[in-house]
Amino acid sequence: MTTTYTARPIDRSALEELRTTDDAGRPLSPFTDDEGGAPLRCCLRRSAPGERIALVSYAPLRRWAAESGVDPGAYDEQGPVFIHAQECAGPRSDGLPFADAHRTLRRYSADGRILGGTLVDAPDDIALHNAFDDPAVALVHVRAVEYGCFLYEVGRD
């Protein structure tokens, strides 16, 4: 049986908050991306030259933990992510984004604790199926290897 997994961008309500004040309490500071290529977490694609974007601090577990009624403790980390400076259309594809390089799949339990991580050549359905083989895994964060940045979340459908 084949299972497919869906990459989840940052939730629209979280994006609204981040476009005012990020998770570190800093105001939005948009800029024009002259070069393009920034991995946008709002629409799960790379930016195009000339787009207005912002680099914000985002705590990827914080809102999930609050909705789930758990305390992520020290795993409530913040890190930099790129987003459009204004609302965008969201993801344009159902595929797994940013699958063009090595990635880390970080697995989390239902109580917000890290269960482990795996380095993969590129995220795909097989790698995600393997990550979710453990029934204790509630969600997976896909992260860049180079900087450890959060790229997107994948949950059980």
**From the centroid of its chain, how far is CA 6?**
12
Radius of gyration for the chain, computed over Cα atoms and rounded to the nearest angstrom: 15
The pTM of this model reads 0.91
Reduced to 3 states (helix: H, G, I; strand: E, B; else coil), residue 36 is coil
Tell me the pLDDT tens digit for each residue of 70-111: 999 999 999 999 999 999 999 987 778 998 889 999 999 999
Cβ atoms within 10 Å, residue 138:
19
Taking the C-alpha atoms of residue 92 and residue 7, their distance in angstroms, rounded to an integer, is 12
Low-confidence ranges of the chain (pLDDT < 50): 1
Domain boundaries, the chain: 7-84, 103-155
pLDDT at site 3: 67
The residue ranges of DSSP E strands in 23-78, in sequence order, are 31-33, 39-40, 45-46, 51-58
